[in-house]
Chains A and B, each alone.
Chain A
């Protein structure tokens, strides 16, 4: 199977300051990859470029061999790091919206997930708590049978019980033909669910290896390794 995701020489400058400074890595289908790094390392920027919301200053991102565009957007499911859903819509309206635009959207699964997370489909998004809004966004994103999932901090704004559910959903959604890139701070929760981790530092890839290899070589968890590398 061809490489699902590839970043080549990716650079992004914001007024002269580089948010990304030559990022290179590839992700194969069937892999769950963690994108780790301190604040400002460029994780969100990288995911936004991959989702087609930012244009790189140099280099390129290729998804299934293609540059970001409508064709890749049909196979990429992106969870932003912010609340992007319109406040006046109801949860069920958004489910209908996603179903309308994405052929790989599973409305039944979405309904199940909403029920599991105790979300009222008739509730308006503006009336939901922040945590509930985040859960809704995640339901929508995970109800798609995408080839590439880009999840920007999926665990950050939700309670620990929901975090477990989310992780378990990501794992049970697993498909050999799909790749998942998860950017997160909460490494401890998630590292055993990951195949590989990519650690970003100052806009470039510090290391890209499998979780077990990292554990074996360093004799510690990825979380502990991370804390050591980025000690203040």
Chain B
């Protein structure tokens, strides 16, 4: 069931995202070509083609930045629509609630990662002739290539988990907002602000309470970093990954509760 849902979601999202990717990349290519001409022909700044080049360049950059927004909007909306009229089709399928969440989440993360990659390509295209590759600060490189691999894995996982937690937060807000079917959008937005606010309050309170412990942890981490930098950093990132995973799990569980046991389609 999950694969079927996912296949369907991927195709549906692709129907919007792929043309957007193609259009935006075409624009980037065009802007890049024009700026090449600009450099070779050395047009004066008031030359119409020079203005056009700048215009294209600006539009291409804006499009690139908008890509991520479009992707998040499209993916978030798929879940939002699930709790609207489309839910009458989806929630009558012989599918468990967790499978709905999983399909939408995996779909969202896949397309978001794809969009980031497309953005990187566009960025490369547009800044191509000017500078070389982005240099990677290899502060933690020295020594074992195994550590580099571990850091890369952790970095990738961090990005994926970050996206996942981001979307799960949105999903949870929508699931709670759907408890007021007549004012679903408003309720979801309000829930989002309420959640962020309480999240921040929670963090402040926890920081306050655990202040003493925190300073002790930080001290011991500092010592550890000086003594064995590599494992410590890996462990620190690992710790963050675990915390993110825990947050994600909580968000998922609560969302599942609301769309499972408390489903009330309007």
Interface residues of A (CB under 8 A from B): 48, 51-55, 70-71, 73-74, 76, 78, 80, 82-86, 88, 97, 100-102
Contact = CB atoms under 8 A, between A and B. Distances in A.
B261 A85 contact: no
A55 B260 CA distance: 9
Nearest to B94: A74
Nearest to B16: A88
Contacts of A76: 92
24 contacts: A52-B91, A52-B263, A53-B91, A53-B92, A54-B263, A55-B263, A55-B264, A70-B94, A73-B92, A76-B92, A82-B88, A84-B86, A84-B87, A84-B88, A85-B89, A86-B12, A86-B86, A88-B15, A100-B4, A100-B8, A101-B1, A101-B93, A102-B93, A102-B94
Contacts of B12: 86
B54 to A, nearest CB: 37
Given A84-B88, A101-B1, A55 B94 contact: no
Interface residues of B, number: 21
B260 to A, nearest CB: 9
Contacts of B86: 84, 86
A149 to B, nearest CB: 12
Contacts of A97: 8
B262 interface: yes
Given A53-B265, A78-B88, A101-B4, 15 more contacts: A48-B265, A52-B92, A53-B88, A55-B264, A70-B94, A71-B94, A78-B92, A82-B85, A82-B88, A85-B89, A86-B89, A88-B15, A97-B8, A101-B93, A101-B94
Interface string B82-117: 000111110111111000000000000000000000
Interface of B: 1, 4, 8, 12, 15, 85-89, 91-96, 261-265
Nearest to B261: A55
Nearest to B1: A101
Max chain A CB contacts within 10 Å: which of B4, B92, B263?
B92
Contacts of A70: 94-96
Contact of B89 (A52, A84, A88): A84
A23 B229 CA distance: 68
Contacts of A84: 85-89
A55 B181 CA distance: 13
Contacts of A55: 261-264
B35 to A, nearest CB: 37
- Complex A-B, nearest 5 residue pairs according to Cβ-Cβ distance, in ascending order: A84-B88, A74-B94, A80-B88, A73-B94, A70-B94
A53 B88 CA distance: 7
A71 B91 CA distance: 12
A101 B4 CA distance: 8
Nearest to B264: A54
Contacts of A54: 263-265
Nearest to A76: B92
A53 B91 CA distance: 7
A53 B181 CA distance: 12
Nearest to B96: A70
Contacts of B1: 101
A154 B87 CA distance: 19
Contacts of B264: 54-55
Contacts of B265: 48, 53-54
A51 B89 CA distance: 11
A73 B93 CA distance: 6
A78 B107 CA distance: 27
Contacts of A82: 85, 88
Contact of B87 (A53, A71, A85): A53
A101 B3 CA distance: 11
Nearest to A73: B94
B92 to A, nearest CB: 5
Contacts of B94: 70-71, 73-74, 101-102
A141 to B, nearest CB: 10
Contact of A53 (B15, B95, B263): B263
A71 B88 CA distance: 17
A73 B87 CA distance: 13
Contacts of A74: 94
A52 B85 CA distance: 14
Max chain A CB contacts within 10 Å: which of B12, B91, B95?
B91
Contacts of B261: 55
